[in-house]
Amino acid sequence: MKHSLKIAGSVAAGLSAAALICAPLAAASPEDAFVGALTEQGVTWPGATPDNMVAAGKGVCQDWASGATFEQEVASLTSNLSPDDAAFLIGAATGAFCPEYESKVS
């Protein structure tokens, strides 16, 4: 239970970061805002580049569209990320690229 609450906090932080970054930087692309949020939070993995960060984020949206659960999303990312970093990435990606799926992370 304690771990679930901690991950929920990471998701909320990711959603908030995406919202805060996107709002004042309306001229910035969602991709730039997403990469900025991950960079600011220190979410990275070996070989991470802005392009594959964006691909991972957009992949979250594809997974949501295919019916993935939050737990499946976290599990799919924890080979390269801690559960907290995976949750942050999921929240930030959902906020930046597919806010219609925010109910999956809240």
pLDDT number for residue 60: 97
d(CA 75, CA 104): 15
pLDDT band at residue 28, thresholds of 50, 70 and 90? Answer: confident
Over the stretch 61-93, which tens digit does the pLDDT of each residue have? 999 999 999 999 999 999 999 999 999 999 999
Say if residue 51's pLDDT is above 70.
yes
**Which pTM does this prediction carry?**
0.79
> In terms of pLDDT, which residue wins out, 13 or 45?
45
What 3 state SS string does 33-87 have? HHHHHHHHHCCCCCCCCHHHHHHHHHHHHHHHHCCCCHHHHHHHHCCCCCHHHHH
